[in-house]
Amino acid sequence: MRASTPARLTGAAAAAALLAGAFLASASTASASTASAGTGRPDDHRTLRAATYNLSLNRAEEGELVADLSTGDDAQAATVAEVIQHANPDVVLLNEFDYSGDTDPYAAADLFRENYLEVPQGTGKPVEYPYAFVAPSNTGIPSGFDLNNNGTVGGGDDALGFGLFPGQYGMVVLSKYPIQHDRVRTFQDFKWQDMPGALLPDDPATDAPADWYSAEELAVLPLSSKSHWDVPVRVGRETVHVLAAHPTPPSFDGAEDRNGLRNHDEIRFWADYVRGGWRSWYQYDDEGRRGGLRPGSSFVIVGDYNADPVDGDSVDAAIDQLLHHPRITDPRPTSAGAPEASALQAGANLDHQGDPAFDTADFADTAPGNLRVDYVLPSRDLRVRDAGVFWPAAADPLSRLTGVYPFPSSDHRLTWTDVRL
């Protein structure tokens, strides 16, 4: 049995390391149209497969995810686990995975590993992740203010990040390689107003600039709708910083575009962080340490960033802050299933300017259509060997794992990149 490392209750990094479990030596194989078996193995410290997967394991009530995962027979959990087993990443960020609470923050992560990932699902083979990192999320934490300015205080839209209970739509990092818990940095509490040049929303009903939020509201409103995590993973003798986040969708607001602007600045945070130097002097983590990533550090940015480079509702060039960054490589992963789905579903997809081969999410055909929103973006010192999106074509037997609405797994697709250290 593994021992989980408790997350710090204030949202900062956990201090103790997880106990190591046994590594799985065999690799699972997927079809040629999806992901091949992971090439970065714990006995090969030169190649790493990093992945991100918004697996939609969020639930409507606090504690419901732990209850569902406790049974070992939750159909959705089994399906997303099989996707992970086929893709077989070495380190993976899971988005929309509810936080279990401060009393036992690793409860859901442990249950998912033990009852689903470490058990063969369908044609998948068991996969072990002895290391994990979990920390609180801003979602569902009451702000005490009327953040959407509808005249009432309370509910998910007035939380620090949209959610019906604290930690809904949270995150977890799973790894086959040791996580350096004593070096983890979290930025849950960093205030939006403390970003120089922040795109703070403007109330269109007044003449004052950037006044959607009051000074009192800005004093408590964090930039991160969930959190930003810098999770160092030790691969052989090298360290790769897994930079994890899940910016808010740039929708569900009004003319003030408060969610779109926040999404832009949540993305910008990593752009400044990996530049380091004077561009990141303003950044402070939950322990009070200032500054960005140390120059020369290897990293991979992972997550559902809710921003397509061409289509959708995000602020213009929001994701370009990363895709065109001088320190970042865009592997431009594709799949066989995405362009097929775009053509079959038509609707809003017919008006898209971007190549549907790059899509990673199957959204409503009316609006916004299918988009590229999930990213695995390595630093330029990490040579990209391969990349892909787990979205099989309809003729592929594994297409049963992605399916069509209502999806058996998630409306997002696991996205992966293989890098050479």
Share of the chain above pLDDT 70, in %: 90
The C-alpha torsion from 179 through 384 and 250 to 55, rounded to 10°, is -60
pLDDT at 25: 30
In this prediction, residue 11 has a pLDDT band, given cuts at 50, 70 and 90, of very low
For 299, the enclosing helix (H) or strand (E) is: strand 298-304
* Full-model pTM: 0.92
14-73: pLDDT as tens digits: 333 333 333 223 333 333 334 444 334 555 678 999 999 999 999 999 999 999 999 999
329-363: pLDDT as tens digits: 999 999 999 999 999 999 999 999 999 999 999 99
pLDDT at 199: 98
- CA angle 101/107/108 to nearest 5° reads 95
The Cβ-side half-sphere exposure at 345, using a 13 Å CA radius, reads 26
104-156: pLDDT as tens digits: 999 999 999 999 999 999 999 999 999 999 999 999 999 999 999 999 999 99
Tokens of 20: 């190591």
pLDDT at 304: 98
78-90: pLDDT as tens digits: 999 999 999 999 9
Name the least confident of 12-21, 223-232, 254-263: 12-21
Q: Name the residue ranges covered by the structural domains of the chain.
A: 47-420
**Widest CA span in the chain:** 64
CA distances from 307 to 115, 156, 303, 396 (A): 33, 22, 11, 28
pLDDT at 291: 98
The type of residue at 236 is: G
> How far is it, in rounded angstroms, from Cα 231 to Cα 299?
9
> How far is it, in rounded angstroms, from Cα 218 to Cα 201?
11
pLDDT at 342: 98
Q: Which CATH class is domain 47-420?
A: alpha beta
Mean pLDDT across the stretch 183-210?
A: 98
> How far is it, in rounded angstroms, from Cα 243 to Cα 273?
10
Instruction: Look at the alpha carbons of 80, 81, 83, 88 in this order and tell me if their dihedral is positive or negative.
Output: positive
- pLDDT tops 70 at residue 6: no
> Which 3 state secondary structure label does DSSP give 263?
helix
DSSP string, 338-399: HHHHHHHH-GGGGG--S-GGG--B---TTTT-SB--EEEEEBTTSEEEEEEE----TTSGGG
> Using the 8-state DSSP alphabet, how is residue 17 labeled?
P
Determine if the peptide bond prior to 378 is cis (ω within 30°).
Answer: no
Mean pLDDT across the stretch 398-409?
A: 97
Name the least confident of 8-17, 232-241, 325-334, 399-408: 8-17
> How far is it, in rounded angstroms, from Cα 171 to Cα 271?
20
pLDDT at 300: 99
**Going by DSSP bridges, is the β-strand pair 91-95/47-54 parallel, antiparallel, or unpaired?**
parallel
The answer to whether the CB of 290 falls within 8 A of the CB of 283 is yes
- pLDDT tops 90 at residue 12: no
The type of residue at 215 is: A
- Write down the mean pLDDT value for the chain: 91
| Strand order across the beta sheet in which 171-175 lies | 131-133, 171-175, 91-95, 47-54, 415-420, 383-389
Mean pLDDT across the stretch 282-291?
A: 98
Share of the chain above pLDDT 90, in %: 89
> How far is it, in rounded angstroms, from Cα 133 to Cα 242?
11
CA distances from 288 to 5, 291, 360 (A): 21, 10, 36
Helix-, strand-, coil-residue percentages of the chain, each rounded to 5:
20, 20, 60
Q: How many CB atoms lie within 10 A of CB 26?
A: 11
Q: Show the beta-strand stretches assigned E in 55-138.
A: 91-95, 131-133
365-382: pLDDT as tens digits: 999 999 999 999 999 999
pLDDT at 110: 98
Q: What radius of gyration, in Å, describes the C-alpha atoms of the chain? A: 20
pLDDT at 42: 57
- pLDDT tops 60 at residue 313: yes
pLDDT at 329: 98
